[in-house]
Amino acid sequence: MPYVTVKILEGRNDDQKKALVERVTAAVSETIDAPAERIHVIIEEMQKNHVGVAGKRYSDV
């Protein structure tokens, strides 16, 4: 029973998150031959002020 966690910055709409879950499920199913109904996809949204790159938070860019 695979569990996949995807961390993304906040701001995606429900249609984008739905498509992400569908495509990740399909990719995992095809890659490891797991039944789709057993694959769990967890989306963790991160606030832009909690993530930084190159010394700057995303909320400051």
Domains (range + CATH), the chain: 3-60 (3.30.429.10)
Residue 43 phi/psi, 5-degree rounding, is -100, 125
Neighbours of 2 (CB within 10 A): 15
Task: Verify whether residue 2 is a known catalytic residue.
Answer: yes
Checking if the pLDDT of 36 tops 90, the result is yes
pLDDT for 59 equals 95
Q: How confident is residue 20, by pLDDT bands cut at 50, 70 and 90? A: very high
pTM beyond 0.85, yes or no: yes
Checking if the pLDDT of 61 tops 90, the result is no
Residue 42 phi/psi, 5-degree rounding, is -115, 125
Catalytic, out of 2, 12, 34, 58: 2
Checking if the pLDDT of 33 tops 90, the result is yes
Give mean pLDDT, residues 10-17. Answer: 97
Say which DSSP state 41 is in: E
Give mean pLDDT, residues 26-55. Answer: 97
